[in-house]
Amino acid sequence: MIEHGTRHNRRVKIDVRPYEGDRRAYLDSIGIGFGEHLDDEAAANFESVLEFDRAIAAYDGDRLVGNAAAISIDLTVPGAVLPVAGVTTVGVHPTHRRRGALRQMMRLQIDDVHRRGEPLAVLWASEGSIYQRFGYGLASLKASLKVKRYRNAFRAPHEFSGRIRLVSEDEARIAFPPVFDAVRPMMPGFFSHSAEFWNAEVFYFPEQWRRGRGKPFHVLHDVGGTIDGYARYAIRDGEENEVSVLDLMAATPAAHLDLWRYLLDIDLMSRVESWNVAVDDPVLLAIAEPRKLEMTMGDALWLRIVDLAPALAARRYRGDGRVVMEVADEFCPWNHGRWSLTVEAGVPYVEPAADSADFACDVTDLAAAYLGGFSFAQLAAAARVSELAPGGIERADALFRTDRAPWCPRVF
């Protein structure tokens, strides 16, 4: 329990503990933290996804004033899929912010994740600076794009590899998940979707989320009757009609470009936009004028290494080798110290080290390199990693390097 004075000179005791009360009260409290009033449909969707045995609450007396929850997901990391905590719906009511409630909730949550044996926790942050205090590092980026139709030509004439057809939402609900599950194990940053998540977070598109867009359209890509891609989009009417891409997923590069070409060529539209595409999406190199995509980058998935040794031992590396790292972790002291990572015949071994370190970093920076989103050389250039032995950073990058940038295609 923590005690703080307020601007009204009143002493406020904030108690943080696992939540055991009425579910609707908890859901309404989440809405307050994000400046929303949840209607019955939205509340039911949230309730179907949340795991209430992982729900944490902050109280002022008997009044609920903050929330932090997590869902159990499988996250794709380089060469493996791990059970992790998907941290979500974290917020404190405007009346009780900046009084230490968040730190207390993060402490309780990380300890619970540690107890459950999940080596990682991941989240999307409303503000990037918040969670670095608790050891979360920027693990992936996302790109947004907006391109006018008359500037969207590909560099070379495009020949479709398969067929694209419009389907109903009911058909999409059946066809989309197998494609996603085929792609998911190959892409660091992807996470598993339960049936409840598909219903509540993918296909749920209420009026307050549309921002001038209509109901979604759904398309499938198939080759010889085999579905290998899909897209979901909505139209925003206005002086310039716009195609808003909500989802695009493909199991092959050919299907990926086919779906982009279809979306870019929809009649009567002035432009196409998408708020979340991979930073290395092939459309950047396929289009004749990359500048006209108006691509911008931003932070996406934030990752917390909860248990360093099992987290590093679970992923796979570029080749064999050894590196010793000095890791600072004040929030999770069991990670703090010197560790060796040795990869022999493709198998990683992680253990405390007594010999001198090749580099030193904070746990947030190790998290930034974990999925392959950033190299240790990039982190060193930003004064976030210190090389302690000649060639130490180069040796680390030789192990951690990945072929593709990680990408998380959806907020949770």
Q: What is the pLDDT of residues 25-63, one digit of tens each?
A: 999 999 998 998 999 999 999 999 999 999 999 999 999
| Angle at CA of residue 107, ends 32 and 409, nearest 5° | 60
* pTM of the predicted model as reported, rounded to 2 decimal places: 0.94
Alpha carbons 311 and 173: distance in angstroms, whole number: 34
Would the pLDDT of 82 be above 50?
yes
Mean pLDDT of the chain: 95
- Residue 288 tokens, joined: 């004749």
Judge whether 404 and 324 are in contact, CB under 8 Å: no
Q: What is the pLDDT of residue 10?
A: 55
Would the pLDDT of 108 be above 60?
yes
Number of domains composing the chain: 3
| Same domain flag for 281 and 148 | yes
Spatial neighbors of 167 by CB under 8 A, at least 6 apart, are 175, 218, 219, 220
CATH number, domain at 73? 3.40.630.30
Residue 86 included in any domain:
yes
Residue 134 included in any domain:
no
Alpha carbons 122 and 303: distance in angstroms, whole number: 4
Q: How far apart are the first and last CA of the chain?
A: 29
Q: What digits encode the pLDDT tens for the residues 246-291?
A: 999 999 999 999 999 999 999 999 999 999 999 999 999 999 999 9
Active-site annotation holds for 205: no
Alpha carbons 199 and 170: distance in angstroms, whole number: 11
Name the domain boundary from 86, 118, 150.
Answer: 118
pLDDT band at 163 (very low <50, low <70, confident <90, very high): very high
Percent of the residues in the chain that have a pLDDT greater than 90, as a whole number: 92
Q: What is the pLDDT of residue 168?
A: 98
| Same domain flag for 70 and 21 | yes
Residue from 26, 46, 59, 131 carrying the catalytic annotation = 131
Residue from 190, 203, 370, 412 carrying the catalytic annotation = 412
Q: What is the pLDDT of residue 299?
A: 97
Q: What digits encode the pLDDT tens for the residues 188-247?
A: 999 999 999 999 999 999 988 898 999 999 999 999 999 999 999 999 998 899 999 999
Q: What digits encode the pLDDT tens for the residues 339-362?
A: 999 999 999 999 999 999 999 999
Spatial neighbors of 154 by CB under 8 A, at least 6 apart, are 257, 261, 286, 287, 288
Domain span at 149 = 142-298
Residue 126 included in any domain:
no
pLDDT band at 128 (very low <50, low <70, confident <90, very high): confident
| Same domain flag for 60 and 177 | no
Q: What is the pLDDT of residue 11?
A: 60
CATH number, domain at 368? 3.30.1050.10
Spatial neighbors of 116 by CB under 8 A, at least 6 apart, are 85
| Same domain flag for 278 and 348 | no
Q: What digits encode the pLDDT tens for the residues 361-387?
A: 999 999 999 999 999 999 999 999 999
Alpha carbons 204 and 181: distance in angstroms, whole number: 19
Residue 170 included in any domain:
yes
- How long is the chain? 412
Active-site annotation holds for 412: yes
Please list the residues that pair with 69 across neighbouring strands: 88
Would the pLDDT of 3 be above 50?
no
| Same domain flag for 163 and 282 | yes
